[in-house]
Structure 1
Amino acid sequence: MERLQERIISAKQALTAFKKLIIIEDPSDVERDACIQRFEFTFEACWKLGKQYLYDIEGIDVCSPKAVIRSCREVNILDEEEAILGLQMVNDRNLTVHTHNEELAIEIHSHLKQYYDLLELWIGRMESNLD
């Protein structure tokens, strides 16, 4: 359970850092790229939190981000629509390595506010289930 608490703290810290850039209207290229990078590490912290939560609380051992999202849907942490958005988020995360492509970077950045909202909700639900 201690590891789960550490993961919650890490995910919340990453989310706070991500929020500082997600709120910038009409970002420069550098701000957009920094926001995408903060999305990457926030996503990593969140799916690993989900993995730990599923293992510690639900007794489910899964190893990939998509499996974690699907399992969170199965245990009602995420609803169907949120899980679909989560799977899209994984796909975009996997494409972030190609953000040197300007069009792709702009496209991914256009989804980040939705992803921020989903990540915040996901963390919040896992944390509130521990209380």
Structure 2
Amino acid sequence: MERLKERIEVAFRALITLEQVLQESAPRKVVRDAAIQRFEYTVEAAWKAAQRYLQEVEGLRSGSPKGVVRACFQVGLLSEEESELALQIMDDRNLTVHTYNEPLAEALFARLPEHARLIRQWLERLAARVQ
């Protein structure tokens, strides 16, 4: 259980860095790119924390980010609407890792505040269930 709590804490710390960069008042390309990078590692930390929770608490195993999202919906951590957005988050994360182009970066950057809000809700629910 300690490893699970540690993973949740790491995910929260990553999320805070994303939220901080999203508060920049005048987004420039460097801020946008930093936000996208922070989004990548925040998503990675969040789904791995959820994966650990599912394994340790719910007894479910899932090896992929989308599988973890679906399992979180099954156990009530995410609503249907939230799980659809979480699946979009995973798609966006995959796009940022494998390709880079200006229009994609702009479109993704515009979605980051909503993505960060859902990741925060997800992590807060995980943390509440672990307490």
TM range (shorter): over 0.9
Unaligned runs of 5+ in 2: none
1:51 is aligned to 51
TM-score, normalization by structure 1: 0.96
Amino acid at match of 1:111: R
> Residues 10-49 of structure 1 correspond to what in structure 2 (within 5 A)?
10-49=10-49
Give, in whole Å, the separation in 1 of the partners of 2:16 and 2:117: 12
1:2 is aligned to 2
Deviation at 1:26, TM superposition (A): 4.0
1:129 is aligned to 129
Give, in whole Å, the separation in 2 of the partners of 1:130 and 1:95: 32
> How many residues in Structure 1 have an aligned counterpart in Structure 2?
130
1:117 is aligned to 117
Instruction: Give a deviation string over 1:78-129, Cα, whole Å, max 9, x none.
Output: 0000000000010000000323x10000011111001000000000001001
Give, in whole Å, the separation in 1 of the partners of 2:126 and 2:92: 23
Amino acid at match of 1:51: Q
SS in structure 1 opposite 2:18? helix
Instruction: Give a deviation string over 1:30-58, Cα, whole Å, max 9, x none.
Output: 00000000000000000000000000000
Deviation at 1:25, TM superposition (A): 3.6
Give, in whole Å, the separation in 2 of the partners of 1:64 and 1:26: 36
State the percentage of identical aligned residues: 44
Structure 1 runs of 4+ off > 6 angstroms? none
Deviation at 1:22, TM superposition (A): 1.3
CA RMSD of aligned residues (A): 0.8
Give, in whole Å, the separation in 1 of the partners of 2:83 and 2:25: 27
Give, in whole Å, the separation in 1 of the partners of 2:22 and 2:85: 18
Give, in whole Å, the separation in 2 of the partners of 1:62 and 1:110: 30
TM-score, normalization by structure 2: 0.96
